[in-house]
Amino acid sequence: MIDKITLTDKQQKSRRGRNIALGFALAGLVVLFYVVTLIKFGGGMQG
Amino acid sequence: MTVIDDHEALGTNGGVRLSEAGARDFFELLKPRVMSLVVFTAFAGLVLAPGHIHPVLGFIAILCIAVGAGASGALNMWYDADIDAVMSRTANRPIPGGRIQPNEALAFGLTLSFFSVAILGLVVNWFSAGLLAFTIFFYAVVYTMWLKRSTPQNIVIGGCARPLPPRNGWGLRPRGGSLGNNVVFLLLFPLAPAPFSGPPLFKMRDYGSVGVPMMPNVAGEASTKIQIFIYTLLTAVIAVVPALAGWSSLGYGVFAGLLGAVFLYCSIAVWRMPDGDQKMVPAKKMFAFSILYLFAIFSALMIDAFVAPLLSLIGGAA
């Protein structure tokens, strides 16, 4: 049998806040690696 | 609805403990005010160093140094949660405040440490990444876990980590690895204990109550005040060295000299403060000024690095 609980409003709100922050951090990392790749290999690809 | 499949989510009394920590609480773990100082000094090191770095890579590198500094702050808060809980200055930090669990802070700190060092190494160079890793290790392990609770020289020795961000900023540039004009690196050595002995002085009773051997509790207020004066004098003198050595202009030297005089005046006011002073207004004022001093000196060095060549160009053209 699985025990289940209902999150309080505060728990739900804080979880949503953490998820959004994590989403932004991951998106930031994607952009960061993309930009760094362009800069590092940009010159090579032009040639 | 949430399925409970993790024993750690259960409290010790059998009740359910689910985190109510917001993103802001995790940001607070990074010690943002300390981080801003680290970012600024690292930026100054980057600007003043010889050689060239792509501006975007420079920005990413400073970001990595900032995150690494924040990570060491989180590790510091994880380890010090027990003493933070009983000191008025720190009792409301996320862990003693009950908003973040110690394990969450530890995982957060370790994750950020790994990513900041790895990205700095991959993006810029592994010399800087190694220096950042050493900085985190020094602050989290050497200072927090070892020195802080074992010697009254904790701030003096632990403060050796403080010059590392500007030195790291310097090392980001291709030719920054050379010794050259490393005065920026030296600048913070004596400066480290001078301002940061402020809080121990006016929070000495707090530190004493948790058994942390801060200088005022071990050597007494009078001895601490003399040490503050000596470190301040050293700082004021070293800040003028770039001008005396010809690395920066006379204008910078005069500016740094004047600021140093005010800094010294503050330390004399602290020295003359009567023992047992409850409010310790001069110590608080000196602490506030020391932060301003640091920003002003590094700003002046950066401005000087751009303005002096411009002035000589104009002079040459005329």
How close B124 gets to chain A, by Cα (Å)? 10
Q: Do B3 and A11 touch (CB under 8 A)?
A: no
More confident residue, B157 or A12: A12
Tell me the average pLDDT across A22-40: 93
* Chain centroid offset of residue B283 CA: 19
Q: For residues B136 and B72, is the Cβ–Cβ distance under 8 A?
A: yes
Mutation for testing the B interface, residue in A2, A11, A16, A30 having most B CBs under 10 Å? A11
B108: closest chain A residue by CA: A22
**CATH number, span B22-180:** 1.10.357.140
Average pLDDT on B47-51 reads: 75
How much is the pLDDT for A5? 81
Q: Is the pLDDT of residue B6 over 50?
A: no
Choose between B9 and B70: higher pLDDT: B70
**Domain range summary for chain B, segments of one domain joined by +:** 22-180, 181-312
Q: How much is the mean pLDDT over chain B?
A: 78
Give the ipTM of the model, two decimals please.
0.83
In this complex, the residue of B16, B22, B122 whose CB is nearest that of residue A5 is B16
Q: Which residues of B touch A (CB under 8 A)?
A: 1-4, 16, 18-24, 26, 54, 56-57, 60, 119, 122-123
Please indicate whether, in this complex, the C-beta atoms of B18 and A18 are within 8 angstroms of each other. Answer: no
Q: List the single residue in A with minimal CA-CA distance to B18.
A: A11
Residues of chain B found within 8 Å of residue A18, distances taken between Cβ atoms: 19, 21-23, 26
What confidence score (pLDDT) does residue B158 get? 60
Residue B242 has pLDDT above 70, yes or no: yes
